Amino acid sequence: MYRRIVSKGKAEYFYLHVTLEFEDFEDVPVDAIKFKTIIVDALQGLFGLAGASIPADILKFHQPKRSAVLRVPSSGFVKLWSSLTLLGTCMGRRCAFRVHQVTPHLMALSANSREWQL
């Protein structure tokens, strides 16, 4: 009856909870497709075509806040994260990606005790 399976080391996918912020807090309309393009451009800018081929999925996109949950295979995880961090401008505006949470377990993204306000 009893089984215990321990998986350690590399996970198949990594999940990131990110928000795109613009410097002047302007309401820049960004839809999911545009968001994905920005991410692919960021990857291409830093790692070239090989970077652009990293399959970063947008699992969830919240348009008003421009926040998203991304999924990326663990081999491309560091590349994705670094490209997001180093991205400074998109569509001619200064912007930044805030990476709120990073996890190999998608479940962990449903709660963030760091952003808990009492």
Partner 1 sequence: MAVTFTCPASKLVFERSCFLHKNSRHVTNVLEHHFNYGVDILIPDCDSIPLHLTSLMVNSRFFLTERLPLAILIDKEFVEAFVKKGKLYMLSYGTAIDRDNCVAIVPPGILILNLTKDTYQELGLVGKPTVFQKKLPTKYVVEINLTEEYFTPGKNYYERVKWCLTDRLGLVFDFLVAWLPHEDQISQSSVPAYLCNKGFRSRAFKVSEEITFKKDVKYPVIDSNDFDGHGEGGNSDNDCPITSSTKYDEQKKGGTKSDGQLKSGDFLCSYTEFWEWLGAFTCGLDCDGSPDDFLSTFSCPDPVSISPSCCQCKYRGFILPGTINCLIESLRDYMKSSTSPWACVTVHGFTDSPVSWRRNEHGHHKGGENLYTFVLFPSEDYWLYMAVGTHDICPP
Residues engaged in binding partner 1 (CB under 8 A):
1-15, 32-33, 36, 47, 50, 55, 57-61, 69, 71, 74-75, 77-79, 101-114, 116, 118
Task: Tell me the backbone φ, ψ of residue 71, rounded to 5 degrees.
Answer: -125, 135
- Tokens 């961090």 belong to which residue? 85
| Torsion, Cα of 49, 34, 107, 75 (10° steps) | 0
Q: Give whichever of 27 and 113 is closer to partner 1, judged by the CB atom.
A: 113
- Tokens 């830093």 belong to which residue? 46
With b for 16 or more beta-carbon neighbours within 10 A and e for fewer, the 87-108 pattern comes to beebeeeebbbeeebeeeeeee
Q: How far is the CB of 25 from partner 1 (least distance, A)?
A: 25
Q: Give CA–CA dist 10/15, Å, rounded.
A: 13
Q: How far is the CB of 45 from partner 1 (least distance, A)?
A: 15
Q: How far is the CB of 30 from partner 1 (least distance, A)?
A: 13
Q: Give whichever of 25 and 68 is closer to partner 1, judged by the CB atom.
A: 68
Q: Give whichever of 48 and 94 is closer to partner 1, judged by the CB atom.
A: 48
Q: Give whichever of 1 and 92 is closer to partner 1, judged by the CB atom.
A: 1
Q: How far is the CB of 42 from partner 1 (least distance, A)?
A: 16
